[in-house]
Amino acid sequence: MLETLPIYDSFLQRLDPRIKIISIFIFSILTAVSQKFNVLLLAFSISLAVFFTANIPIKEAIKRLIPVNTLVIFLWFFLPFTFKGNTVFTLFDLPVTLEGILLATMITVKSNVIMLMLIALTLSTPIVTIAHAMHEMKVPKKIVHLFFFTLRYIHVIHNEYIRLSNSMKIRSFKPKTNFHTYRTYAYMVGMLLIKSLERAQRVHNAMRCRGFNGNLYSLSNFSIQKTDKIVMAIMMILFLLLGIIEWTTIPLF
């Protein structure tokens, strides 16, 4: 199935996808390079506003934020203890620094802010439409193809992984900390790589038989409407505000 993500009807869903891609790209860069918490607070407010505009259920957002925050949690186990700075307190005779806590907090906020915007994009725009929009924006073809086919076939590889995993369970395989377990998982990863290569070759041959020349075509043409221009202007003003707060000393708030 080509479309594996639900698309929710909303005001954001009806905007030109090129406007959404440009806005989220600029927003993500500004958020990633920001070093001020007041900028991150404003960015968080913008991402929440965009998210709720997309009319996406909270449950869907939480489900997609869990993997990101699972990785972030590991940072909290290391950064406060390893980052040099002023010691706030000690835990198990290990100094916890203020700078480490602030850095971990900043990374946590940045990750969730950017992820909220990406969730709003992917759950308001079909993956095929995003790929066509990237192609219309003159993004290099190889990047567009990599993006499109990765999302198109990642669930196929996942299904193959589940099939191999179930076959191992049927054979009474129980993972342990021994050489047999490591070798078995190595074999499974190798089989996934082989299956992926075979699938890629079959898809490539099928596309060549159908005359694929590297271009992605769409039955509908993109057109920027008045609403798109207004939204783009508002987003540019907000981005300018973020930049002013970040790189100037003007006390806006």
Confidence bin at 2 (pLDDT 50/70/90): very low
Confidence bin at 3 (pLDDT 50/70/90): very low
- Gap between the Cα atoms of 69 and 236, Å rounded: 29
SS3 call for 141: helix
Q: Domain residue spans in the chain?
A: 1-125+223-253, 127-220
Q: What is the CA radius of gyration of the chain?
A: 23
Place of tokens 């075979």: 198
Return the half-sphere exposure (C-beta side, CA atoms, 13 A cut-off) of residue 135: 20
Place of tokens 């850095």: 103
CA 184 to chain centre: 31
Q: Is the pLDDT of residue 252 over 60?
A: no
Q: Is the pTM of this model over 0.85?
A: no
